[in-house]
Amino acid sequence: MSPFELAEPASLAEALALLDPEDSSVRAIAGGTALMLMMKSGLYRPRRLISLRAVGPALDGIRVAADGGLEIGAMVPLAELQRSAAVRAAAPVIAETLQTHSNVRVRNVATIGGNLAHADPHMDLPPVLMALGASVRLAARPRSRRQPRWRRSRSPPTAAARSIAAPSTWARARPPRWRRSSAKP
């Protein structure tokens, strides 16, 4: 691994100010599960990483919105999302998906914001969120905005995921139950 600067801002505003739109080697890091593997293998050589650990409380928590949907903080670990009673009630398909996502050690560290930001085409969670009509609230200088995750541009990072908004229609989203057919072809 090559040397890099680690910035540890105390606020979300400070973290956003450290992002450099001209330099794609500057990146925010939350759980860091995928990013650290990329760095160890030499696929990614950052100049600066911006730790969001101290900013966590501003990006944490799972809340039920007034319309019955969910607001999931970007720093929520996948294991917490999987165990959440609010998620199991409003969107059980998310909890079901996370049962087979990676392993327990990764789910305890990986965050939903990092999972979406990594944008690996083999991830299980982004297609589920897309199918449910979720959107990502982005924190950017000087304001926040909301956009579907799949419309993210490929430009250098200038924003960070703040939360994931789940519409109230999630309450009807149930994972399919497969049954064996006894009919012969």
CATH number, domain with residue 16: 3.30.465.10
Is residue 37 in some structural domain?
yes
Provide the residue range defining the domain that includes 52: 5-172
* pLDDT tens digit sequence for 113-133: 888 888 777 778 888 888 888
Task: Give a yes or no: residue 178 inside a domain.
Answer: no
Q: What is the tens place of the pLDDT at every residue in 1-29?
A: 789 999 999 999 899 999 888 888 999 99
Could you tell me if residue 157 is inside a domain?
Answer: yes
Tell me whether residue 146 is in a domain.
Answer: yes
The amino acid that residue 12 corresponds to is: L
Give first-to-last CA distance, the chain, whole Å. 56
Tell me, yes or no, whether 101 lies in a domain: yes
Look up the pTM and report it. Answer: 0.79
Identify the top-confidence range among 87-96, 135-144, 147-156: 87-96
Q: Taking Cα atoms as reference points, which of 119, 16, 92, 118 lies closest to residue 59?
A: 16
Dihedral of CA atoms 119, 100, 38, 9 in degrees, nearest 10, equals: 70
Residue-wise pLDDT for 90-101, tens only, equals 889 999 999 888
Distances (CA, A) of 11 to 32, 42, 50, 52, 127: 19, 30, 11, 9, 31
Residue 181 inside a domain? The answer is: no
d(CA 156, CA 73): 23
Q: Give a yes or no: residue 124 inside a domain.
A: yes
Would you say residue 180 lies in a domain? no
Q: How many structural domains comprise the chain? A: 1
Q: What is the pLDDT of residue 158?
A: 60
Count of other CB atoms within 10 angstroms of residue 27: 21
